[in-house]
């Protein structure tokens, strides 16, 4: 059974599995947080080149987040000490910024979550470093299609599982693997909240989508098989078979007749190639 609660978009909210239904103030807050998140990803486009360290990119994300009047929600989150996640090649998600340098041919996900005026804008995109082989570029392109096909399902009356079903169908049609260990999530005044948005699901399953729900869709798609493993650092998730992995993430809100994407790029830089 699914519980929903209509919230007034001000006070503290329970983390008890209830799905929050937000009003106009929530949409306004998410619009601002989402826009800042997208502007940060836009600003990284010219910086992602061979030779740069991922720590340097993290510094830019932190500074832009603070300049935008926000704080990085990941900073201090469950012991995480960085302002974004940077996941290269076979890293599925939660790559930790470090002195490692980007190299020609890498595919890189950068995931940012500014917390602005109490609202979380959570988004990630893939970046191509220099000359990327066609096989990897295809994976990136199809992963973006998976995100957008998922978003197309998001409207009142649909089921959450319709999103995962559409994503899984598209990814597996290309013989890619859909990661099961990590999901999208409700968000708003909380960073990770109900519902869990699974990216491989049965159509018609899961909670009904209602106007006012806020959640992310963030499919992780592998060139090889779906399983991941966690590295010793407790954060970095990699593909078990060491195949390449790609991910895109948007934060959305269900409206009366569809959905609003809070984290769309103001400059149209939603996916590579960005040139
Ligand atoms: N931004 C990630 C997400 O999409 C969460 C990162 S949590 C961290 O949900 F601690 F790893 F940064
Ligand atoms: Co997320
Ligand atoms: Co994210």
Pocket test for ligand 1, best of 62, 91, 109, 111 (most atoms within 8 A of CB): 111
pLDDT digits (tens, 9 = 90+) for 171-205: 999 999 999 999 999 999 999 999 999 999 999 99
Distance 187 CA to ligand 2 centre (A): 8
- Counting ligands in written order, the one closest to the CA of 77 is 1
Maximum distance among all Cα pairs of the chain, rounded to whole angstroms: 51
Q: Among 272, 238, 241, 249, which residue's Cα sits nearest to residue 88?
A: 238
Distance 130 CA to ligand 1 centre (A): 26
d(CA 88, CA 211): 36
- Helices then strands, counting H and E runs in the chain, come out as 4, 19
Ordered alpha helix ranges (H), 15-159: 24-44, 54-67, 134-152
Cα dihedral 28, 94, 104, 129 in deg (nearest 10)? -10
Sign of the C-alpha dihedral computed for residues 74, 75, 78 and 79 taken in this order: positive
Which pairing describes strands 4-6 and 19-21: parallel, antiparallel, or unpaired? parallel
pLDDT lower than 50: segments of the chain: none
Mean pLDDT over the full length of the chain:
98
Kindly state the percentage of the chain with pLDDT values over 70. Answer: 100
Ligand 1 nearest atom to the CA of residue 94, by list position:
11
Say which residue the tokens 């299609």 belong to: 145
Say which residue the tokens 């603070």 belong to: 66
d(CA 85, CA 110): 6
d(CA 86, CA 95): 5
Say if pTM beats, i.e. exceeds, 0.95. Answer: yes
Pocket test for ligand 1, best of 62, 71, 85, 231 (most atoms within 8 A of CB): 85
The answer to whether the CB of 214 falls within 8 A of the CB of 186 is yes
């Amino acid at each position: 059974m699914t519980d929903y609660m209509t919230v007034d978009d001000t006070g503290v909210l329970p983390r008890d599995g209830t799905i929050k239904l937000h009003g106009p103030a929530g949409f306004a807050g998410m619009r601002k947080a989402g826009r800042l998140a997208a502007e940060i990803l836009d600003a990284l486009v010219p910086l992602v080149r061979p030779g740069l360290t991922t720590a340097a990119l993290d510094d830019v994300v932190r500074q832009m987040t603070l300049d935008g009047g926000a704080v990085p929600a990941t900073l201090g989150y469950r012991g995480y000490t960085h302002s974004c996640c940077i996941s290269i090649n076979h890293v599925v998600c939660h790559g930790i910024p470090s002195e490692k340098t980007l190299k020609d041919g890498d595919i890189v996900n950068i995931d940012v979550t500014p917390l602005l005026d109490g609202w979380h804008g959570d988004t990630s995109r893939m970046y191509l470093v220099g000359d990327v082989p066609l096989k990897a570029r295809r994976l990136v392109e199809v992963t973006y299609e998976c995100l957008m096909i998922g978003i197309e399902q998001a409207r009142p009356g649909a089921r959450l599982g319709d999103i995962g079903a559409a994503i899984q169908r598209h990814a597996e049609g290309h013989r890619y693997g859909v990661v099961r260990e990590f999901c999208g999530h409700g968000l708003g005044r909380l960073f990770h909240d109900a519902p869990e948005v699974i990216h491989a699901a049965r159509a018609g399953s899961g909670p009904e989508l209602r106007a006012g729900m806020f959640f992310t869709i963030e499919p992780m798609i592998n060139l090889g098989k779906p399983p991941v493993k966690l590295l010793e650092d407790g954060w970095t998730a990699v593909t078990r078979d060491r195949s390449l992995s790609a991910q895109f993430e948007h934060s959305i809100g269900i409206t009366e007749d569809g959905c609003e994407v809070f984290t769309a790029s103001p400059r149209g830089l939603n996916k590579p190639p960005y040139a």
